Amino acid sequence: NAGVTQTPKFRVLKTGQSMTLLCAQDMNHEYMYWYRQDPGMGLRLIHYSVGEGTTAKGEVPDGYNVSRLKKQNFLLGLESAAPSQTSVYFCASSKPPGTPRYFGPGTRLTVL
Amino acid sequence: AQKVTQAQTEISVVEKEDVTLDCVYETRDTTYYLFWYKQPPSGELVFLIRRNSFDEQNEISGRYSWNFQKSTSSFNFTITASQVVDSAVYFCALSEGMDSSYKLIFGSGTRLLVRP
């Protein structure tokens, strides 16, 4: 039982490049979330999903897209990375009604 | 508008001291949830507690206790007999509405350093 895993752990991108962050959970949770954490701040919700095939915008969705084709996976995409997207990204999952209880280890992304 | 304020940016205590981390929230909803999370130096987030707005009973879990006071819009967290392993950043968070408990608004966090 690995819990919530994130791939990759670290990444450096140049401005304008694209990439996809993968989140996987093996707890059969319905709800999954993507957050970003910037220095000196708490987490901010980017996008979330309440079930396979569904996604919704969170607090800071601009510049990101997501997909939930399989229940266990939640992908976060950056189509054209910008320096403002330099951050640590956390994925989380939970059962309904939805309190993010289980977090992945984070992905540290730097955009130059 | 909803807001969470953790005024203490950093706290340093000596092991075995008690320490209280403050959390003040703002919301117009009468129905909401409050949370505390721990982020140790390793970076992962650990869920500690969730409390709904209708339950003002204090909660105790081992050395941890939480004091929820609606009158002052506060949800403070106390660690009794602190230990070095308690060193971490602690986040308080708020979500409004019973159906939106996942849309958390986080405070900026309090860094706790427990010195041996």
Q: Is A101 exposed, middle or buried (0-12, 13-18, 19+ CB in 10 A)?
A: buried
Query: The tokens of B105 are what?
Result: 């608004």
What are the chain A neighbours of B101 within 8 Å (beta carbons)?
97-99
Residues of chain A with pLDDT under 70: 1, 97-98
A64-93 residue pLDDT tens: 999 999 999 999 999 999 999 999 999 999
Q: How far apart are CA A105 and CA A35, in angstroms?
A: 12
Query: Which is it for the CA torsion B96, B100, B105, B109, positive or negative?
Result: positive
- Say if strands B10-14 and B110-115 run parallel, antiparallel, or are unpaired: parallel
* Nearest CA distance, A97 vs chain B (angstrom): 7
Residues of chain B with pLDDT below 70 are: 98-102
Say what the pLDDT of residue B110 is: 97
Interface contact A33-B102, CB threshold 8 A: yes
Question: CA of B51: which chain A residue's CA is closest?
Answer: A99
A5, A46, A50, A103: which to substitute to probe chain B, counting the most B Cβ within 10 Å? Answer: A103
User: A92: which chain B residues are within 8 Å (Cβ-Cβ)?
Assistant: 45
| Residue B101 amino acid letter | S
Q: What is the pLDDT of residue A59?
A: 87
In DSSP terms, A85 is beta-bridged to none
Name residue B75's beta-bridge partners.
B68
Please tell me which residue of chain A has the smallest CA distance to B34: A99
- Chain A interface, Cβ < 8 Å to B: 31, 33, 40-45, 48, 58-59, 88, 90, 92, 94, 97-106
From chain B, pick out residues whose CB is under 8 angstroms from the CB of A97: 98-99, 101
A84-88 long-range contacts, CB within 8 A, separation 24+ = A84/A111, A85/A36, A85/A109, A85/A111, A86/A110, A86/A111, A87/A36, A87/A37, A87/A38, A88/A36, A88/A37, A88/A38, A88/B43
The structure tokens listed for B87 are 């060193």
Q: Which of B44, B102, B105 sits opposite A98 (nearest CB)?
A: B102
Instruction: Report pLDDT for B52.
Output: 87
Whether residues B43 and A40 touch (CB distance < 8 A) is answered with no
pLDDT for position A33: 93
